[in-house]
């Protein structure tokens, strides 16, 4: 039971917050403030940033935290938000296995981060805001991460062109 709840929380955090897999694996329990829907992550270059925790992610995290005591937890991982079957802090390889078990087709954990950014932009988020959420130093990096979906192109054309 605890593995399913952990996996739900992992997937919701990756998609709902856009965190890097390394950031997710290094999260500690005390980095969460579910009352306000924020997680504090340490990104590249040891830079701290706050990311939103969606309501579905918060619900999944609450479920996981209620049952986390059922998982084995090594002393070295006592503060870790997510642990594996051996009681150690979750690793990127563990995350890949979770996604492989849950995905209908093979995908990479980073695809959830791309999807997070694309959905934000497709629904009108400012590129600069997405840059901050992803923790990119340079907006050009954010531009590489995102692409305009065919659906978004069609919708903008339909909504803005007089002959559409």
| 44 among known catalytic residues | yes
Catalytic residue among 44, 93, 147, 154: 44
Catalytic residue (choose from 6, 68, 89, 136): 136
113 is catalytic: yes
Q: Is 136 a catalytic residue?
A: yes
Residues in CB range of 40: below 8 A, 6 or more apart:
31, 33, 48, 49, 50
Select which of 6, 68, 89, 113 is catalytic. Answer: 113
161 is catalytic: no
Q: DSSP assignment, residue 82?
A: S
Catalytic hit among 66, 93, 102, 110: 110
Q: 58: closest CA among 30, 37, 81, 31? A: 37
**Cβ proximity of 45 and 99 under 8 Å:** no
Q: Kindly state the greatest CA–CA separation across the chain.
A: 66
DSSP 29: G
Of residues 6, 20, 68, 89, which has the active-site annotation? 20
Pairing of strands 48-52, 32-33: unpaired
Active site residues: 20, 44, 110, 113, 136, 145
């Amino acid at each position: 039971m605890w593995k399913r709840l952990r996996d739900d929380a992992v997937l919701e955090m990756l998609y709902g917050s856009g965190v890097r897999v390394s950031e997710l694996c290094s999260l500690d329990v005390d980095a969460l403030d579910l009352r306000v829907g924020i997680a504090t992550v340490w990104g590249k270059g040891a830079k701290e940033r706050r990311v939103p925790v969606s309501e579905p992610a918060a619900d999944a995290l609450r479920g996981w935290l209620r049952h986390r005591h059922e998982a084995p937890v090594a002393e070295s991982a006592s503060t870790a938000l997510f642990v594996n079957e051996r009681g150690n802090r979750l690793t990127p390889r563990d995350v890949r296995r979770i996604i492989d078990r849950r995905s209908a087709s093979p995908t990479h954990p980073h695809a959830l981060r791309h999807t997070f950014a694309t959905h934000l932009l497709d629904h009108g988020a400012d590129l600069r805001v997405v840059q901050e959420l992803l923790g990119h130093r340079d907006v050009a990096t954010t531009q590489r991460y995102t692409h305009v979906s065919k659906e978004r192109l069609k919708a903008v054309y339909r909504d803005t062109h007089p002959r559409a």
